[in-house]
A and B are shown apart, each in its own frame.
Chain A
Amino acid sequence: MPKIKLIEHDGTEHEIDGEVGKSLMRNAVDNNVPGIDADCGGECACATCHVFVDDEWLPRTGAPSEEETRLLGFAATLQPNSRLSCQILLDETLNGLVVRLPEAQH
């Protein structure tokens, strides 16, 4: 079970035991981490599960797809390390992953 740390905008940290094969979004929502809205339920269709991936983890989470990039363009606070957490599938190589949440999901 990969351990994942999600840090809210105000600094509150949440450490969860991630479930492999599920998206980061689904893991966060299932563990009641606040700040991930995921209105579309994980279809890469709403940009409300936006996270910032800590730079050292970027090579392992990979780059966003064209469609994800397009939707991220409509997120409120875009950064080079922005991702939609519904598009990050957890596996063992992501053990220790750290992501930060934006101030708001819109």
Chain B
Amino acid sequence: MNVAANIDHETLARTLPLDQFDPGNPKLFQDDVWMPYFARLRQEDPVHYCKESRFGPYWSVTKYKDIMTVETSHTTYSSESALGGISIVDRPVEFRRPSFISMDPPKHDEHRKVVQPIVAPGNLAKLEQIIRERTCSVLDSLPRNETFNWVDLVSIELTTRMLATLFDFPFEDRRKLTYWSDVATADVNAGGPINSEEKRTEVLQECLQYFTRLWEERANAAPGSDLVSMLAHGPATRNLSPKEFLGTLTLLIVGGNDTTRNSMSAGLWFLHQNPAEFAKLRENPALVDTMVPEIIRYHTPLSHMRRTAVQDAELNGKTIRKGDKVVMWYISGNRDADAIENPDTFIIDRKRPRQHLSFGFGLHRCVGNRLAELQLRILWEEILKRFERIEVMGPPQRIYSAFVHGISELPVRIPG
């Protein structure tokens, strides 16, 4: 699918033959024009086969219910790294970095259970105080009466501080985490500095070396409550190979960084576009609780997850063959009117706001989902206490990726 500038996407999405649809084209997300294409697929060809693309042939699953079926059928649809893992991109074998998100049971379960305690209710309660203090200090230091990038000074800063705390990572080096996260997920065709898998690996080796030092320190000390120590002492993870260690690190860094960051940026944009909802929120700040999951649904920070069929299967009338690549478009399922009322409208007081696909479902459901919500809740509570107005000075700049639904810039100004 060739997406040129100045194209009427509503018309193109309606008229383009379905066999020419390539919904994995990252440009659709960068230009924020993905919606009509997925609307057509949900309507006319909900389990769609793209024969030829940069990513090879792949199935697109676009309806909420079908995505749920794939999510909960892990014996048919595998996450296994050796089969291609969890993203539409097939990395060459030597560049794959396995971690529990790209493992099936039983190994997945053993690894995930090692890190799970970091987001247990008791630990979240402990983290709440730290998050609030940090959020207050970041918001209090924002410039006034001048335009700045919300993504950099708020979204990145807050999520990076959080990650540094979870890893007990040297605080002054925390922006390295953001950098490694961006490197790990960069699309090599995006036109940025990471334009080959070799370059990516080179940078991620620095990440591995840095964390290996931390690992050695923590492995030789008594078990602590940070993620590195948990991995170093965990029965299923203390003998991780360097590749698996790097895989697990990048999973936790990307998982804890990118997704929450983009929800922090997107939320402000949505409220700016929906002033009536913003007014409702000012009137009743308690709506933050339901607004947070609504932001996460409406933005969908990870556009998709991928599986590989390990046996033939029927899915909504289509026959999926063993070995086929199956992409679950969360970003589309979250706009499926058969599952969500008025799905294209941002409504901060929805009745069942947590019924969305952004965290995935089944055994790979986002391990940090409550922590992400906690961070977003605190951010909005503290924003409402402080700022009467945040002026959005222009539309967000989005990144070239079919996986991370990312915002790199959102210019804002806070009067006062």
Using a CB–CB distance below 8 Å, which chain A residues touch chain B?
37, 39-41, 43-47, 67, 70-71, 73-74, 76, 103-104, 106
Using a CB–CB distance below 8 Å, which chain B residues touch chain A?
68, 71-72, 105, 109, 112-113, 116, 119-121, 352, 354-355, 359, 361-363, 365, 367, 369-370
Q: Which residue of A lies closest to B110 (CB)?
A: A73
Q: Are A43 and B354 in contact (CB under 8 A)?
A: no
List chain B residues, Cβ under 8 A from A106. 119, 121, 369-370
List chain A residues, Cβ under 8 A from B71. 45
Q: Are A46 and B361 in contact (CB under 8 A)?
A: yes
- Residue from A43, A47, A70, A104 in contact with B68 in the complex, judged by beta carbons closer than 8 Å: A43
A54 CB, nearest partner CB in chain B, Å? 22
- Chosen A-B contacts, 12 in total, with CB atoms closer than 8 Å, are A39-B359, A40-B361, A41-B352, A43-B68, A43-B72, A45-B362, A67-B72, A70-B109, A71-B362, A73-B109, A74-B112, A104-B121
A42 CB, nearest partner CB in chain B, Å? 10
Q: Are B365 and A46 in contact (CB under 8 A)?
A: yes
Q: Are B109 and A45 in contact (CB under 8 A)?
A: no
Q: Which residue of A lies closest to B361 (CB)?
A: A45
List chain A residues, Cβ under 8 A from B367. 74
List chain A residues, Cβ under 8 A from B72. 43-45, 67
- Residue from B120, B361, B370 in contact with A43 in the complex, judged by beta carbons closer than 8 Å: B361
List chain A residues, Cβ under 8 A from B112. 74
Known interface pairs A45-B72, A73-B113; A103-B365 also in contact (CB < 8 Å) = no
Q: Are A40 and B68 in contact (CB under 8 A)?
A: yes
List chain A residues, Cβ under 8 A from B121. 76, 103-104, 106
Count chain A CB atoms within 10 A of each CB in B105, B119, B365, B367 and give the residue with the most. Answer: B365
